[in-house]
Structure 1
Amino acid sequence: MLRFMPVGDSMTIGSAGEHTWRYRLWQHLRDSYDGPFTFVGPREELYDKSTEAPTSYAYADPAFPRRHLAGWGEGWLHMAPLIGEAVRAHRPDVLLISLGLIDLGFYTNAEQTAENVRAFVAGARETNPRLRMVLLPVIPNIRAEADASFADQVDLFNVLLAKTVADLDEPRSPILLASWPESYDIHADTYDGTHPNADGEHRIAQAFAGAMWEAWGIGQAYAAGTS
């Protein structure tokens, strides 16, 4: 069985009442991958905005493997110390990673964030030297439209992320840099300028699915308009 672990911040954990891009990707792989698979990780909850904590299980459709390693307000800085134990305990084959916006917004600059990417990869590989990873570039949010210095940091980090992936990619533990989600528009694909609505969930899932299909032959091309 192929075991995927979604790793991310608020865009990955999602909040009460949402499907999440994790669900959209599961739905796609269910219909396109010719083999057993599941999602794994130490967490299952959604973020509950009423309690300001990850205490909700109110998925729009809970009938899918909901496990993950994602947290509202967490970034590479927070996940790097956790990933080794998460890989040991839950034995993923593939990490699906969407991190960086929180780091750049609140904790570290682009160069420091890139160093935390390296620490994360090292920690994951220390536990499983054959682990595969797919990394999503940071999608600028609405803050980047009004804050030029923040936008510059996002752009710089994405350049550094591409270089980091090129440096760390190796045959026994390949790392893919997914393409930017196709036609992603924060005004149409999010509900608040940051967090994906249903259309945004599909576009993020499509980015991960496309990378795995093109590089590894997992699944198929993502079908636009999947419900």
Structure 2
Amino acid sequence: MFVGDSMTVGSAGDYTWRYRMWQHLNASYGGPYRIVGPRRELYDPAADAAGSLDYGDPDFPERARAHLAGWGEGWLHMAPLIAEAVRKGKADTLLVSLGLIDLGFYTNAEQTADNVRGFLAEARAANPRVRAVLMPVLHNVRALAEPHFAAEVERFNELLGKIVADLAEPASPLLLASPPEGWDTQRDTYDGTHPSAAGEHRIAAAFADAMYQAWDVGGPYGR
């Protein structure tokens, strides 16, 4: 299950990094798998709401479009939703990219970290053996322009690493993904935050390589 904010849900016309991961798993994973989640839509800028199905590849199959991601949603919003989503989808692996919207509008680093713990507790309540890969918050154009915000991002990322170290269990492993290699807001985003095609590949690669290295799922991401 893909869990995320606007960088994960994508906007009308995007391919999304979820699509890139689907392509990667099809090419590299030897076993059966399912992508699960309660939502299918992209964000529709014209309506300022979710509802678009205009993916960059119209042949991206509906079953693979599943996710739990939303424009303007963060750990604060997903923590109350994750248990039901895991339970209904029978999810056993979560790929999570959240936090930028929390820090930008709702909570400081410590409060956001508390919501991460709540999210993980709820996910484990639904499936005690669920495993998760957590992506650190990536610096965006605001972090580059505002030192205070950049420091808050760095503080949260430190706390996220501590959460992974403290809460990882053999039956329910947690991974902290490495930030996408060579992330560059000029090349890897189209507006300073949301991923371009290059950024989509880099985010998918960070998740894919973490799963392969730790759990032998799939293979190294195709460069």
Q: Which interval holds the TM-score relative to the shorter structure? A: over 0.9
Partner SS, residue 188 of structure 2: coil
What SS does the corresponding residue of 2:65 show, helix, strand or coil?
coil
Structure 1: give runs of 5+ residues left out of the alignment.
none
2:51 corresponds to which residue?
A: 55
Q: Aligned match of 1:38 in 34, 40, 52?
A: 34
Cα deviation digits, residues 111-142 of structure 1 (max 9, x gap): 00000000000000011000010000000110
Q: 2:161 maps to what in 1?
A: 162
Q: Which runs of 4+ in 1 moved over 4 A?
A: none
Partner of 2:66, secondary structure, is coil
More helix by share: 2
Normalising to structure 2: TM-score of the pair?
0.98
Q: Deviations over 1:21-78 (max 9, x none)?
A: 0000110110000011121100000001111000100001142310000000000000
Counterparts of 2:32 and 2:126, CA distance in 1: 23
Out of 4, 7, 15, which is 1:8 matched to? 4
CA distance in 2, matches of 1:145, 1:97: 23
AA of the residue aligned to 2:102: D
Over aligned residue pairs, what C-alpha RMSD do you find?
Answer: 0.6
Q: What residue is the counterpart of 2:138 in the other structure?
A: 139
Q: How does 1:66-85 map to 2 (within 5 A)?
A: 66-85=65-84
Q: Note if 1:183 corresponds to 2:182.
A: yes
Q: State the Cα deviation string for residues 169-216 of structure 1 (Å, max 9, x = none).
A: 000000000001000101110000000000000000000000000000
Q: Does 1:152 align with 2:159?
A: no
Q: Give 2:38's aligned amino acid.
A: P
Question: Is 1:18 aligned to residue 17 of structure 2?
Answer: no
**Partner of 2:121: helix, strand, or coil?**
helix
Q: CA deviation at 1:88?
A: 0.9
Is 1:110 equivalent to 2:106 in the alignment?
no
Corresponding residue number in structure 1 for 2:203: 204
SS in 1 for 2:161: helix
Amino acid corresponding to residue 165 of structure 1 in structure 2? V
SS in structure 2 opposite 1:7?
A: strand
Give the % identical residues.
65
**Alignment length, in residue pairs?**
220
| TM-score of the aligned structures, taking structure 1 as reference length | 0.96
Equivalent residue letter for 2:49: A
In structure 2, the residue matched to 1:96 is 95
Give the partner amino acid of 2:29.
Answer: Y
Is the deviation greater in 206-215 or in 83-92?
83-92
Paired residue type of 1:179: S
In 1, distance between residues paired with 2:43 and 2:69?
10
Separation of aligned partners in 2, 1:107 and 1:31:
39
CA distance in 2, matches of 1:210, 1:191: 24
